[in-house]
Structure 1
Amino acid sequence: MITYDQSRTIVEQALRHARDEGLPPMTVAVLDAAGQLMAFGREDGSSLLRERIARGKAHGALHMGMGSRGIAARARSHPEFVNALVALADGDLVPVPGGVLVRDSDGQLLGAVGVSGDVPDRDEECALRGVTAGDLCADPGA
């Protein structure tokens, strides 16, 4: 499982990257492999739905076993299927980039991170920076 210290590093480094890039206020959620919240960061001024979006991206990655970029690709080719997945997950699956699986160096699943605050590609960029800063492997699903 992902540790609390690893989770905090992901949040801190994802937010640091967002500040370095001048992005809007961001929200980051790190979940363990069982979908439990390990660490969370919400910058001042981050809008109200950002927490649910970040968690939905991370949960979606865990639900489907792939980063949300892969889920987004499936949504383009099979929209009815992904709409059904969102319904089955009670809305806790957001099919756009920004949800990244977290793996160890052996490829074992440790958890997932979801980031929200800017366009999906920039959200994913923050997630990737956070994960790799902690010497973990990021799996965005593409």
Structure 2
Amino acid sequence: MATLSLRRARTMIRKAFEHARGAEMKPMAAVVLDAGGNMIAFEREDGASPGRFDIARAKAYGAVMLGMPGSAQMARAEAQAYFIACANGALGGGLVPVPGGVLVKDSKGVVLGAVGVSGDASDNDAAAAKAGIDATGLTAEV
């Protein structure tokens, strides 16, 4: 089974931050988790609030644990709030079901993990995460 390396995780974060700076976004925090929800890497830009770690991690964690990116979680929460509430309870309250939690897949569609980004508007967070993933040659499911 393929896995995400620390080197690739660091590249994802660096490229996500480069994207954010180029788009003049607010300071970011980014987390890369493996397919089991374990943290591989985390960084917080200067000026990003300390709580951004928890939010970025929760975005990535929800994507991995539910097998759906934050955008799909948000749609599910709007359609079936009870499901997301129950899933959040089952997963220890560790979900933030909004864009910015992006699944990382290999060329065969196998989930390798997720990137969670927090700092700007959720759609901007997701775009930064996607840019980071794209830079490694893997596939982002936003």
Shared fold, TM over 0.5: yes
Relative to the length of structure 2, the TM-score reads 0.95
Shift >4 Å, 4+ stretches:
none
Q: Corresponding residue for 2:60? A: 58
**Which amino acid in the other structure matches residue 135 of structure 1?**
G
Relative to the length of structure 1, the TM-score reads 0.95
Q: Which moved more, 1:81-90 or 1:67-76?
A: 81-90
- How far apart, CA to CA, are the structure 1 residues paired with 2:113 and 2:72? 16
Q: Do structure 1's residue 7 and structure 2's residue 9 form an aligned pair?
A: yes
Alpha-carbon RMSD across the aligned residues, in angstroms, is 0.8
SS at match of 1:8: helix
| C-alpha deviation, 1:83, in angstroms | 1.5
Could you tell me which runs of 5 or more consecutive residues in structure 1 were left unpaired when the two chains were aligned. Answer: none
Instruction: Choose from 102, 106, 109 the match for 1:107.
Output: 109
Could you tell me which runs of 5 or more consecutive residues in structure 2 were left unpaired when the two chains were aligned. Answer: none
Q: Which moved more, 1:6-15 or 1:85-94?
A: 85-94
Number of residue pairs the alignment of both structures matches: 140
Q: Corresponding residue for 2:84? A: 82
Q: Corresponding residue for 2:35? A: 33
Q: Do structure 1's residue 18 and structure 2's residue 31 form an aligned pair?
A: no
**Which amino acid in the other structure matches residue 130 of structure 1?**
G
- How far apart, CA to CA, are the structure 2 residues paired with 1:48 and 1:87? 24
**Which amino acid in the other structure matches residue 40 of structure 1?**
F
SS at match of 2:49: coil
| C-alpha deviation, 1:119, in angstroms | 0.8
Query: How do 1:121-132 and structure 2 match up within 5 A?
Result: 121-132=123-134
The percent of aligned pairs where both chains have the same amino acid is 46
